[in-house]
Amino acid sequence: MLRIPATMLRRSSRGYCVSKHGTALPKRRISSSLIDIAPEVRETLRHTPQLVVALESTIITHGMPYPHNLDTALEVEQIVRQQGAVPATIAIVGGRIKVGLAADQLRLLARNDSGTQTLKTSRRDMAYVMATGRNGGTTVAGTLLVADAVGIRIFATGGIGGVHREGERTMDVSADLIELGRCPVAVVSSGVKSILDIPRTLEYLETQGVCVTTYGSEDCEFPAFYTRSSGSKAAYNLTSATVAAKMLHMNRALGLGSGILIGVPIPERYAMDASEMNAVIAEALGDAERKRIQGKEVTPFILSAVSALTRGKSLDANMGLIKNNAHVAADIAVELARLENGSSSSSEMERKDDTSLAADGAGAPLIIGGSVIDICISVLEDDLKLDGATYHAKQDSSAGGVARNIAEGIYKIYGNVNLISAVGNDQNGVHIRKLLPEHCASSIVTLGNCPTASFTVLLDRKGDCQLVVGDMEAHKAITPDWIKSHTELIQQSPMTVIDANISEAAMITVFEECIRYNRPVFFEPTDMRIAARPFYSDNAKLTILAKRAIKFISPNIHELAQIAQALHYPGSIPTKSMNEYGQSMSYLLTLDRLDCS
């Protein structure tokens, strides 16, 4: 963990108050010496701060029972990463503010038998929790306070607090509402918890200057956590992540200094019946009053009681909606990064307006090869043995595959790309296609009888690799016939890039078509075991075509050694000397003049 530098905590466009003498005074912020920031989050905040999505920790410490809380926290972080953003779970551990938690810290907060009391921490509690060196699960208000201090602009949660029922008598109003009025952070939630007085909560937010919108709800029907409708209306509806990102951008440009609440309805498959929930909540509230539950203990008590009364259905709904909200928040973060990072030079919008880059991919580079889901399983327990026992672990997954990675990179930099690949008719296939332009779908084979290729690594607690397995069967669907059916992509492309995952027959087809249309081939060797596939002497046709078609190649030193050996390189085969590497590359880059027979 690293401490965030003070320069990252400064704001120049806002954060001032006026003294009694009328002098503008800087708004006090959290001292940077009190904040530890995870390396991944730190680097992202430094280079692309829009991509960081804040996550609260009270949902872990007080919102769900173990192990559901830990599993949900890990899955939510995974969802944010899958969408291309960076999760930053915020909490207090040992009296230190943490922005981005390691797996062992998440587990510490999730378990209630660790011997250390974890306190529900809002703004009012923060000084005490930190001064006494305790652990704290930050509420929406506490998370907003920290997120704003370090420059995070998007925050995903389940539901925010609000005005409690009979709040006009008890004056019980959540600090979440006040903090939303103070911090220019967008909170993506399934509205206000349905145990609260939602109409009065929306009125209070309006007074605080907080813009309240719905997301994907044409009638602006504001959600009520467990149910898709509360009976109250939001002022506006955001139709897409792009529209939401534009609003966040404008909110910052105006220097309003207040937040935005984006209400995302719970997915229909998790939504509960409104009348049933109202009856259950009324019973839980009555129970809380009889037991004299007060203050910050009310919400955890009610949520637990509602879960028991609904026989766990409300817990399933809670887990489902927070995952969906994380997905939406990450999508908005990615769009915000595209909008603001492009505006400083050649923006994505400018690229789309460029007539040289057609919306259907005409004239864009063509990539041919594998699309994979990379899965990394990190065991969180000591003494791992491959003996069939069950171990608690954290799983991270992301879209991968050499060809797919290259295609996504070109798309983000150049603004357009074409990809010939293969995926399964499954969720992983949907995710891979979503990361690329829509027109790529027509050249990606979707297999009904084969899953998307996957690559799984098992790491022990120390991070050492214990097992690697892969299912690459889907790559076989990239056939010569499929490539020939998309010859126009080769003809229109300034360059065709292939990886070594495709078959020799497919390579021959690519080389023949590229030679026919005088298009250069960039060969990415992929792995030392298959790097020399186009150059084996026992397939003379493939080797001859490779020499003519390949103009660029990008091997590492081990892959280069395999290629040099296959091409009967007359000098010493490089192993680790960069001087040898350079000499060998000079030799191999003249492939079209070699006689390798």
| Catalytic residue ranges | 56, 193
**Cα–Cα distance, 66 to 321 (Å, whole number):** 18
Helix or strand holding residue 30 (H, E): none
Tokens of 152: 């995070």
Helix or strand holding residue 55 (H, E): strand 52-55
Task: Please enumerate in sequence order all residues whose Cβ is within 8 A of that of 300, keeping only pairs 6 or more positions apart, or say none.
Answer: 62, 63, 120
The residue type found at 73 is A
Task: Please enumerate in sequence order all residues whose Cβ is within 8 A of that of 253, keeping only pairs 6 or more positions apart, or say none.
Answer: none
* 317 and 272 Cβ atoms separated by less than 8 Å: yes
**Cα–Cα distance, 362 to 356 (Å, whole number):** 9
* 335 and 241 Cβ atoms separated by less than 8 Å: yes
How many C-beta atoms lie closer than 10 Å to residue 361's C-beta?
24
86-93 vs 135-138, strand pairing mode:
antiparallel
Distance of CA 308 to the CA centre of its chain: 32
Residue with tokens 């997915």: 267
C-alpha distances (whole Å) from 92 to each of 66, 127, 529, 589 are: 19, 11, 47, 55
**Cα–Cα distance, 513 to 236 (Å, whole number):** 53
User: Tell me, what DSSP letter sits at residue 497?
Assistant: E
**Cα–Cα distance, 465 to 80 (Å, whole number):** 25
Say how many CA atoms lie within 13 Å of 179 toward its Cβ: 25
- Of 50, 160, 21, 41, nearest to 97 by C-alpha is 41
